[in-house]
Amino acid sequence: MSDSALLERLAGAIEGMDANAVKSLARDALAAGLSPATVLNEGLSLGMRRVGQKFNAGDMFMPEVLVACDVYFAGLEVVRPLLAASEGENRLGTMVLGNIHGDIHTVGKNVAIPVFEANGLRVIDVGESLDDQVFVDAIRKHKPQIVGLGTYMTSTFMHTGETVAAIAKAGLRSQVKIICGGPAVDAEAARRMGADDASDDAWKAVDKIRKLLGK
Ligand code: B12
């Protein structure tokens, strides 16, 4: 089977919510010589993006999305141990990532993290519904180049300004770029609140992060 056919079948297994198929296809793709980053970026991620599009179009329902996420994670189990050892690790820099106070949504963050890792970020996940001080402490501890703010509701996205202000008050704003992520974000509004950018799509966010870091 050609590489593109293998990747297409992998994506199809996620859309079809078939965990067994996704694992064996991921192994086949690696055995065929595809890099772990390619298997994630062009196979597993393609399937997850299509699931998101179907959900937004009303062609898939939330329980199905959650099963598809589990299938995505089953495929990730195969690929993830190899990712850290591959070309991806820490090429772009370090990201501290966490959800703004009041936000407990985890699925999007957990889907985004491997995408960021496969594209060269070392990601430190500091958790959900965080006080602004947690971001400040994590920046001091891990010295990231980029901070990701998970904001999955309008109310928490609107808190961005306060979190950015806390980082600035601690004298750390000039040391980091800040990007918001989640379905309710808007890049212009994020900039008005003092962040650098925002994205509702992990794969597009990688390009934005590259630009922000000048890479
Ligand atoms: C699943 C879900 C839940 C689950 C969460 C389970 C979990 N463990 O995550 C539960 C049931 C707990 C929940 C609760 C609530 N939810 Co809810 N939830 C959703 C739902 C249906 C899907 C979210 C999801 O998983 N999407 C799939 C993932 C893959 O997509 P994603 O999150 O957008 O992530 C992608 C990108 O955004 C990006 N990304 C993710 N993180 C990051 C971070 C960075 C830095 C970057 C750059 C990119 C990035 O990468 C991902 C892949 O591209 C959405 C509806 C929707 N259309 O999104 C509502 C939604 C987010 N929820 C909403 C609301 C209001 C609530 C509740 C207040 C409901 C209630 N009345 O109780 C509570 C609040 C909980 C809280 N305090 O946080 C609203 C928010 C509306 C708004 N604009 O404010 C939404 C949009 C539904 C709606 N249309 O009303 N929710």
Whole-number Å distance, alpha carbon 199 to ligand 1 midpoint, is 14
More confident site: 29 or 107: 29
User: What is the percent of the chain with per-residue pLDDT over 70, rounded to a whole number?
Assistant: 97
- Residue 157: the pLDDT is 98
Domain assignment of residue 149, given as a range: 93-212
Alpha carbons 80 and 83: distance in angstroms, whole number: 5
C-alpha distance from residue 19 to each of 12, 26, 66, 67, 87 (Å):
11, 11, 12, 9, 26
Q: Is the pLDDT of residue 125 over 70?
A: yes
63 shares its domain with 101: no
111 shares its domain with 146: yes
Ligand 1 proximity of 57 Cβ (cutoff 6 Å): no
Structure tokens at 107: 């699925």
149 shares its domain with 166: yes
66 shares its domain with 111: no
Ligand 1 proximity of 182 Cβ (cutoff 6 Å): yes
Whole-number Å distance, alpha carbon 209 to ligand 1 midpoint, is 22
Ligand 1 proximity of 66 Cβ (cutoff 6 Å): no
46 shares its domain with 69: yes
114 shares its domain with 134: yes
- Residue 90: the pLDDT is 59
102 shares its domain with 121: yes
Instruction: Read off the pLDDT of residues 96-124 as tens digits, 9 standing for 90 and up.
Output: 999 999 999 998 898 899 889 888 899 99
72 shares its domain with 138: no
Ligand 1 proximity of 81 Cβ (cutoff 6 Å): no
C-alpha distance from residue 198 to each of 101, 109, 168, 181 (Å):
17, 14, 18, 6
- Closest atom of ligand 1 to CA, residue 69: 29
SS3 call for 88 = coil
Mutate to test the pocket of ligand 1, among 49, 153, 196 (most ligand atoms within 8 A of CB): 153
Average pLDDT over residues 114-136: 94
Structure tokens at 70: 């589990």
> Can you state the angle between helices 202-212 and 45-56, rounded to 10 degrees?
120
Alpha carbons 129 and 137: distance in angstroms, whole number: 15
107 shares its domain with 191: yes
Ligand 1 proximity of 200 Cβ (cutoff 6 Å): yes
Beta carbons of 117 and 85 less than 8 angstroms apart = no
Q: Is the dihedral of CA 131, 137, 138, 143 positive or negative?
A: positive
- Cα–Cα nearest to 44, from 89, 110, 105, 106: 110
Domain tally for the chain?
Answer: 2
Whole-number Å distance, alpha carbon 182 to ligand 1 midpoint, is 7
Alpha carbons 209 and 215: distance in angstroms, whole number: 8
What pTM was computed for the model? Answer: 0.89
49 shares its domain with 123: no
